[in-house]
Amino acid sequence: MAAAKSRRVKNIRDKLEFLGCPHVENVDESWMSELLFKSGEPRLRLIQWLLTRFGHPQLEELLESHQAVLSNLTDSRVGKLLFCANLLGLCHDDDVDLITGVSSKSKQLQFFEDVIDMLMVVDNLSHTYRTAVPATPPADRMLRPKTFGEAVFDACEYIDLLCRQEDLGELFKEKIHLFPPDIEKEFGTKDHENKRSQIPEITDLASLAHQIEMELKKQNKILERLQSE
């Protein structure tokens, strides 16, 4: 258990270093564990850095301002961190212990892993967009508005790069079930295949139509007789 937790902590640290987190520079393993699990100012600063790293203007403004959020917490800073984390789907609106570092270590590890994985996705998509759409367009395009064709071309390049990053075959099932299981099972039976293969002849259909016509005439005469009585 301890070895597994240590690996998870190291993985979190590696990802934070990749994201350029200033709170994990030149720190040892013991300090990293204390940063993640011990209540205090360093931990709150780390959570705030992670949430502002998403680059959402409203989140940054809320976290960096002195504006209070609607909360029954006496610590408005913890309330704002909890409010933002809940907005991102990282915790429930009453998970105060998770923000302050009082909850179980397994729950705290899961929280940090979730928020960092989300940041990795956001960072990856941002890098892909910057690669697909150059920050400095060619000089001739800077002097005139972008044409519709150029806009479509840039969008297609961006989507193409996104598709190349993932195996699209894993996103779609090879077999699509168009019917419920009971109907699909019936389709697979031999009797059903035999019934489907027996296409009626035109003469049989004409004979059946004639029988229906005669029966309708018969019933119509009976109805007329009843109405006349």
For range 107-121, the mean pLDDT = 88
Q: DSSP H helical segments within the chain, as ranges? A: 2-18, 29-37, 41-52, 57-64, 76-87, 96-100, 105-132, 139-142, 148-165, 181-187, 190-197, 202-228
Where exactly are the structural domains of the chain? 1-132
What is the tens place of the pLDDT at every residue in 211-225? 999 999 999 888 888
Look up residue 18 and give its two tokens. Answer: 């990749």
To the nearest whole number, what is the mean pLDDT of the chain? 77
The answer to whether residue 33 scores a pLDDT higher than 60 is yes
196 — pLDDT class (breaks 50, 70, 90): low
Angle, vertex CA 110, rays to CA 48 and CA 66, nearest 5: 20
Question: Which whole number is the average pLDDT over 6-30?
Answer: 85
Going by pLDDT thresholds of 50, 70 and 90, the confidence category of residue 8 is confident
d(CA 86, CA 51): 11
Residue with tokens 């297609």: 156
Q: What confidence tens digit (pLDDT) does each residue in 48-96 have?
A: 888 888 877 777 777 776 554 544 454 578 888 888 888 888 888 888 8
Task: Enumerate residues 6+ apart whose C-beta is below 8 A from 37.
Answer: 43, 101, 105, 108
For residue 193, the model assigns a pLDDT of 53
What's the rounded Cα separation, in Å, for the pair 100 and 107?
A: 12
What is the mean pLDDT of the segment spanning 157-165?
76
